């Protein structure tokens, strides 16, 4: 089952903030599944359009990658500031 994950895109990278076990680490997002016979880089999401925003995604976390990613919501500047204050370190 896919997890709901929340983070902020900074410098083109997704900084994982929730769940808190993500500890603010930067992970890469891909649309490929873990079972695909292609490397995750083939489906890596370009995050430039989300720069500076909080985004909510669904996917399967494994190490430095989140697989089978779907972006389900983006935050406006106010929501992004709230996410940083609540989850930020």
Rounded CA gap, 75 and 31, in Å?
21
What is d(CA 43, CA 25) in angstroms, rounded to the nearest whole number? 20
How many independent structural domains does the chain possess? Answer: 1
Q: Which residue has the tokens 């083939």?
A: 42
What's the pLDDT tens digit per position in 19-46?
Answer: 876 677 899 999 999 999 999 999 999 9
Strand partners, 66: 29, 61
Question: What is the arithmetic mean of pLDDT over 45-56?
Answer: 96
Q: Where are the alpha helices (DSSP H) in the chain?
A: 77-87
Span 51-73, mean pLDDT? Answer: 95
Q: How many Cβ atoms are within 10 Å of 36's Cβ, its own excluded?
A: 14
Contact of 58 with 4, CB cutoff 8 Å: yes
Domain extent, residue 21, equals 3-87
- Of the pLDDT bands very low, low, confident and very high (cuts 50, 70, 90), residue 87 is confident
Q: Are 83 and 75 in contact (CB under 8 A)?
A: yes
């Amino acid at each position: 089952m896919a997890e709901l994950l929340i983070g902020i895109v900074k410098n083109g990278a997704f900084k994982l903030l929730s769940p808190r076990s993500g500890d603010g680490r930067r992970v890469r997002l891909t649309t490929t599944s873990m079972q695909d016979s292609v490397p995750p880089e083939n489906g890596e999401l370009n995050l430039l359009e989300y720069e500076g925003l909080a985004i909510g995604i669904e996917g399967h976390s494994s190490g430095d990658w989140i697989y089978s990613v779907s972006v389900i919501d983006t935050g406006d500047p106010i929501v992004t500031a709230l996410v940083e204050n609540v989850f930020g370190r």
